[in-house]
A and B are shown apart, each in its own frame.
Chain A
Amino acid sequence: EDQVTQSPEALRLQEGESSSLNCSYTVSGLRGLFWYRQDPGKGPEFLFTLYSAGEEKEKERLKATLTKKESFLHITAPKPEDSATYLCAVQTHYSGAGSYQLTFGKGTKLSVIP
Chain B
Amino acid sequence: DTGVSQDPRHKITKRGQNVTFRCDPISEHNRLYWYRQTLGQGPEFLTYFQNEAQLEKSRLLSDRFSAERPKGSFSTLEIQRTEQGDSAMYLCASSGGTSLYTGELFFGEGSRLTVL
Residues of chain A whose beta carbon lies under 8 Å from any beta carbon of chain B: 4, 31-32, 34, 41-46, 49, 87, 89, 91, 97-107
Contact = CB atoms under 8 A, between A and B. Distances in A.
A101 B101 CA distance: 9
Nearest to A102: B103
Q: Which 6 A-B residue pairs are closest in the complex by CB-CB distance?
A: A104-B42, A43-B107, A101-B45, A34-B103, A100-B48, A91-B103
Interface residues of B, number: 26
A31 B107 CA distance: 21
Interface of B: 4, 31, 33, 40-45, 48, 55-56, 58-59, 91, 93, 100-101, 103-110
Q: Is chain B's interface secondary structure helix, strand, loop, or mixed overall?
A: loop
Nearest to B44: A104
A44 B107 contact: yes
Given A41-B109, A42-B109, A42-B110, A100 B104 contact: no
A106 B103 contact: no
A87 B43 CA distance: 9
Contacts of A99: 56, 100-101
A91 B45 contact: no
Given A42-B109, A46-B104, A106 B41 contact: yes
A97 B101 contact: no
Given A34-B104, A102-B103, 8 more contacts: A31-B101, A34-B103, A43-B91, A43-B109, A43-B110, A45-B107, A49-B103, A89-B42
